[in-house]
Amino acid sequence: MRGRFYGAAVRADHILQDADYRAALVRECLVLVPELVLKWAHVEPQEGNRNFQDMDVIAALAFQSKLKLRGHTLLWHKSVPVWAEQRLTADRGWAPIESHIEATVTRYDGVVGEWDVVNEPIDPWLRSDGLREGIFLQAFDEKYIHRALRQARKLAPKSHLLINEYGLEYDDDADRKRRFHFLKLLERLCYADVPLDGVGLQSHLELEKGPFRENVYARFLQQIADLGLKITITELDVKEWDYTLSVERRDQRAADAVRALLSVVRDQPALRGITSWGLIDRYSWLGVTASDLARYPNAW
Ligand code: G3I
């Protein structure tokens, strides 16, 4: 896919411990994404006491090897430090978020080219507007997204600013609803002239959910592009289903799922690039779970 980037989510501890992994990252990737260490709860577990050491390990490798960085992520409901959640609940003031965004974006300005400013703002099940219930929405309504993007733009005017979302690929009820609410949110943001450059589509594929409907997904991508937004595939990976097959058949099924997605996204001119959620199976967050084991009780 000429003109588009490929990269992967990485962990600082693996970079430090595993020379083969480090070499593979440099060989395969143009872009690195921190899988864990730039999230708010990791960076600032106690107020004002920030740990950027782990992110600096990743930034150093990127600098030495002339790779770019994606910043994942400034605001995510699953990574709000306990102290910040308490403050936001108590006084609904923007100050903790402001100082978090300022410290993080400023430190990596000129180094991080693309920011996931808001991660996973959609939850299709509870509210009619499809916005996720949680501390950010409670304290600031939808305006938290506007404020975060405006602040990020001010601090890093040259960075590409995204909203990153999951569960948008398949033609089932949940994904259809998420696509609908995500597009509505994007329309409102564009109408309000909020500085949003693009979207991140996480793309955690699940073999349980297939088949993938190419025309449905292609139309969704085009609707995003029609709003003038760019597209990054941000967390591509495949959750397998039938672990009892031979390794070759399992690999084939995972490859087929990725090929089906890529055959659609590569034809969309708004696509900037793709990062997978990890580079190698050894360090994937997707392990075999207890319910995977229970599915084939006699096969193990
Ligand atoms: O490293 C510690 C280990 O020392 C400890 O014993 C163990 C006990 O729970 O936890 C380990 O840390 C875990 C870490 O992954 C490393 O494995 C954390 O508990 C766990 O919460 C963390 O999960 C990460 C998750 O985000 C939350 O930060 C996943 O690795 C990471 O892949 C996942 O990434 C998210 C994206 O940010 C957003 N989109 C979905 C994606 C997958 O869930």
Find the 44 Cα to ligand 1 centroid distance in Å. 16
235 lines ligand 1 (CB under 6 A): yes
Q: What is the predicted pLDDT for the residue at 256?
A: 97
Find the 233 Cα to ligand 1 centroid distance in Å. 20
> What are the tens digits of pLDDT across the range 85-102?
999 999 999 999 999 999
pLDDT above 80: residue 134: yes
Q: What is the predicted pLDDT for the residue at 300?
A: 66
> What are the tens digits of pLDDT across the range 264-297?
999 999 999 999 999 999 999 998 899 998 998 8
Find the 36 Cα to ligand 1 centroid distance in Å. 7
Q: Which residue(s) pair with 198 in the sheet?
A: 162, 230
Which residue minimizes the CA distance to atom 34 of ligand 1?
35
DSSP characters for 22-78? HHHHHHH-SEEEESSTTSHHHH-SBTTB---HHHHHHHHHHHHTT-EEEEEEEEEGG
Which comes out higher in pLDDT, residue 298 or 85?
A: 85
Mean pLDDT of the chain: 96
Q: What is the predicted pLDDT for the residue at 298?
A: 74
> What are the tens digits of pLDDT across the range 154-163?
999 999 999 9
pTM recorded for the entire structure: 0.97
